[in-house]
Structure 1
């Protein structure tokens, strides 16, 4: 039986991608680098540090990676604080509350920085539901490397066979599977460019996933 659910954040709990996109492309313009849509999409699931490390190498940038991170974070924070219509994705709050009320452990494992995670969790009052918040900035390699999910599973009250990950990106799903954890792919309007085919289950809305569906998802998959 599933006892722990590991949530990604961006694209699963809240859609901050438009804010991230605005911040990145404003900074790309300041840096005078031409980042294509294809290249930008390939960064999905990567930490900010990994993205700028790749950009520094690709474009032979002189700026220090830490300085680039701080500038991007400043642009993002200004935009985040001024964006009044930022909401949790439809149905996810009900799922979080239902799982928590039924004793399921919830862990966040997001590529976002600790500062961004705290901003989101504080704004939407989510701290009370999650036992641990894991940030990708603590790991040298981003998704699809499994390190972040391996660590999240190590914090679980149960063995990883009793955990599932909810992800919306190709890299995130690859990371979950590489960590040996069952994965639910969330097929939202924001994940159209992502390949969810490696997920064990794909949902189109969170109303397809309640406590009853989650707790037995491992046994159902084994019986199929």
Structure 2
């Protein structure tokens, strides 16, 4: 994890803020290690060994469709990206059949704090709606989240801004009234391109990403909220 590294003297949350949009994978749920294992399983079918460093550099934070294109090209796989993506989606569905990804340690407390402070909360993800639904159901978070945007809801997922623009439209607020919380460079780029101030909480998988366009970077959700919100 990176140390606290605010990139702006201004707070990310301002008096104008009414909406906080959380990324899902890596921000609220600890899913990247699972995705790495699933990609290892899939690529193992083709005799390919996926290193953790390559996974982190090439796959983390991007939607499965783009992941499939990248691994097919990188490893010269004897399959088309559509088939690779379908296999990965199937492995993910099997994992999520009767469970959810585990929550990041302080995710529940962070969501409760933001909700109690009166902010509208949403989830904007490049992952699947199934994954988000399992999180909301199994971790009993549905009462706090008023909107979700997943990969199925847009034509172009992160790092394109469409998912964040859709969330703003759903909430009927402007970008100036919103804050995004991300863990990867790709998600940060999507939020910033939509005009939304972005705070980044890097994970071990995304620690090497370039977060220079973020308004602030912290080591945890709690550290961020302790800095910007009263207890």
The equivalent position to 1:173 in structure 2, one of 176, 185, 188, is 188
The equivalent position to 2:173 in structure 1, one of 126, 137, 158, is 158
CA distance in 2, matches of 1:83, 1:107: 21
Counterparts of 1:1-224 in structure 2 under 5 Å? 1-33=16-48, 35=50, 37-38=53-54, 41-58=57-74, 61=77, 63=79, 65-80=81-96, 87-210=102-225, 213=228
Give 5+ residue unaligned stretches, structure 1: 216-224
Answer whether contact 2:32 2:60 (CA < 8 A) is retained. Answer: no
CA distance in 2, matches of 1:58, 1:120: 32
Task: Write out per-residue CA displacement over residues 104-149 of structure 1, whole angstroms, 9 at most, x where no aligned residue.
Answer: 1111111111122222222211221111111124334332221111
CA distance in 2, matches of 1:166, 1:149: 11
What is the root-mean-square deviation in Å for CA atoms of aligned residues?
2.8
CA distance in 2, matches of 1:130, 1:29: 37
CA distance in 1, matches of 2:42, 2:140: 30
Q: In the superposition, relative to structure 1, how do residues 157 and 208 fare at CA in structure 2: closer, same or farther (>3 Å)? A: farther
CA distance in 2, matches of 1:111, 1:74: 16
In the alignment, what sits opposite 2:4?
none
CA distance in 2, matches of 1:212, 1:101: 17
Q: In the superposition, relative to structure 1, how do residues 205 and 35 fare at CA in structure 2: closer, same or farther (>3 Å)? A: closer
Q: TM-score, structure 1 length as denominator?
A: 0.82
Normalized per residue, which structure has more helix?
1
Answer whether contact 1:4 1:104 (CA < 8 A) is retained. Answer: yes
CA distance in 2, matches of 1:54, 1:147: 21
Deviation at 1:55, TM superposition (A): 3.4
CA distance in 1, matches of 2:186, 2:170: 22
